[in-house]
Amino acid sequence: MAETGTVKTNRFKLFMNENGDQLVPYIILVLMILVTYISMPYANLLSLDWLGIKTDQSLSLILAATGQSFVMLIQGVDLSVGGMISLSNCICARYMEQFLGGGPGGIVVLILLMGMLGFACGTVNGFFVTRFKIQPFVATLATWSIFKGLAILILPTDGGNPPNAFINFALGRPFGIPMSLIFVFILLGFWYYFKNTHFGMAIYAVGSNERSAYYNGINVDRVKMLVFSMSGMFAALAGVFRTAQVASGSPTAGNEFILISFCAAVLGGINIAGGRGGILGTVIGSFIMRMLQDVLQFVGLSTYWTALFQGVLLITAVTVTSVNIIVNRRRRMEVRA
């Protein structure tokens, strides 16, 4: 019996290694795909068409959760992503058709302007956090309300008329490849380059130990400022794609993204204590959050259960992360002893 207990303990420690918690989203995703396959054995899962449908559904969340992940890596949180998504969604839905005639050039310019607007609004968050030392939760809660108010002024009710050229581009299939899937690969390519840059490594350093990062010559306030700016930019781009996805705008479009962007990041392995995780996991976590409703329908449960299971997934991911931190801390203490 003692030997069995030792084997189980060793297996547990093997799973809870330095990156053990990073396996959780992949395990959950595989289980969801298996459930979907069992429920729909004749469905052509993992085909290009199926991937296209899922990435079309998930890309707005992926972009919002990517920005949220950057903020979480420095031990912060950005509640304003909801307001920023609503604002960019309303601007695009109302003005894209009129902007330079709604042609390809005008659409590209407006998308760039939305990214710049998001970057500027995120910089405002960073300014309050770094200059006035306001807690990120409080600062971004206030700006979320401001951005949402601006969205209501621009588009008081759901509506708008985004041009078909924009919708066809965002949801298109060039050479049979879903455009949203191309965007995901571009995002991952950007991440694998970015994380090895000086700024990318500085983000991890600040998130791991802010004081140590400061003493090693890193401008902590500058890093925080730029991280919030990037979060705002990604949230604005999420709102842009959401416009194509639903072909309209809404002043409440971003409300749902506040919680699920955080859930997707945590589920994807972003450490709530900062300094660990990556965007690939966040992409997987976003797919899981979007697939959850489908899986519930396949097993015969009402979609009203979605929020409950989202909470279960979130607490599971947080628990695994916390246990992993405790196990690794004890292991390092044993080595030192």
Q: How many CB atoms lie under 10 A from the CB of residue 215?
A: 9
pLDDT at residue 14 is higher than 70:
no
Q: In the prediction, which pLDDT does 293 show?
A: 79
Residue 47, classified by CB atoms within 10 Å of its CB into exposed (0-12), middle (13-18) or buried (19+), is exposed
**pLDDT tens digit string along 174-219?**
988 999 999 999 999 999 999 999 999 999 999 999 999 999 999 9
Q: In the prediction, which pLDDT does 279 show?
A: 95
pLDDT at residue 281 is higher than 90:
yes
Model confidence at 15, pLDDT cuts 50, 70, 90, reads: very low
**pLDDT tens digit string along 221-240?**
999 999 999 999 999 999 99
Looking at residues 17-27, what average pLDDT do you find?
69
Q: In the prediction, which pLDDT does 7 show?
A: 44
Q: Tell me phi and psi for residue 6, to 5 degrees.
A: -65, -40
Domain locations in the chain? 46-321
Q: In the prediction, which pLDDT does 308 show?
A: 85
Residue 21, classified by CB atoms within 10 Å of its CB into exposed (0-12), middle (13-18) or buried (19+), is buried
**pLDDT tens digit string along 65-83?**
999 999 999 999 999 999 9
Report the mean per-residue pLDDT for the chain: 87
pLDDT at residue 8 is higher than 50:
no
Looking at residues 80-88, what average pLDDT do you find?
97
pLDDT at residue 95 is higher than 70:
yes
The structural architecture, per CATH, of the domain 46-321 is Orthogonal Bundle (1.10)
Q: In the prediction, which pLDDT does 21 show?
A: 61
Which residues fall within 8 angstroms of residue 22, CB to CB, at 6 or more apart?
Answer: 269, 277, 281
Model confidence at 9, pLDDT cuts 50, 70, 90, reads: very low
pLDDT at residue 276 is higher than 90:
no
Q: In the prediction, which pLDDT does 319 show?
A: 81
Within the chain, residue ranges assigned H as helices are 2-15, 24-39, 48-73, 81-95, 104-131, 136-154, 164-170, 179-194, 198-208, 210-215, 220-246, 255-267, 279-298, 306-336
Q: How many CB atoms lie under 10 A from the CB of residue 58?
A: 23
Distance (Å) of CA 321 to CA 5, 10, 77, 327: 23, 18, 17, 10
Model confidence at 287, pLDDT cuts 50, 70, 90, reads: very high
Residue 268 · residue 283 · CB < 8 Å: yes
Residue 245 · residue 150 · CB < 8 Å: no
pLDDT at residue 13 is higher than 50:
no
Q: How many CB atoms lie under 10 A from the CB of residue 2?
A: 6
Model confidence at 314, pLDDT cuts 50, 70, 90, reads: confident
**pLDDT tens digit string along 112-121?**
999 999 999 9
Q: How many CB atoms lie under 10 A from the CB of residue 48?
A: 13
Q: 150, 173, 178: which is closest to 89 by C-alpha?
A: 150
Looking at residues 153-172, what average pLDDT do you find?
92
Q: In the prediction, which pLDDT does 19 show?
A: 57
pLDDT at residue 38 is higher than 70:
yes
pLDDT at residue 17 is higher than 60:
no
Q: In the prediction, which pLDDT does 337 show?
A: 62
Q: Tell me phi and psi for residue 281, to 5 degrees.
A: -60, -40
Q: In the prediction, which pLDDT does 11 show?
A: 45
Q: In the prediction, which pLDDT does 113 show?
A: 95
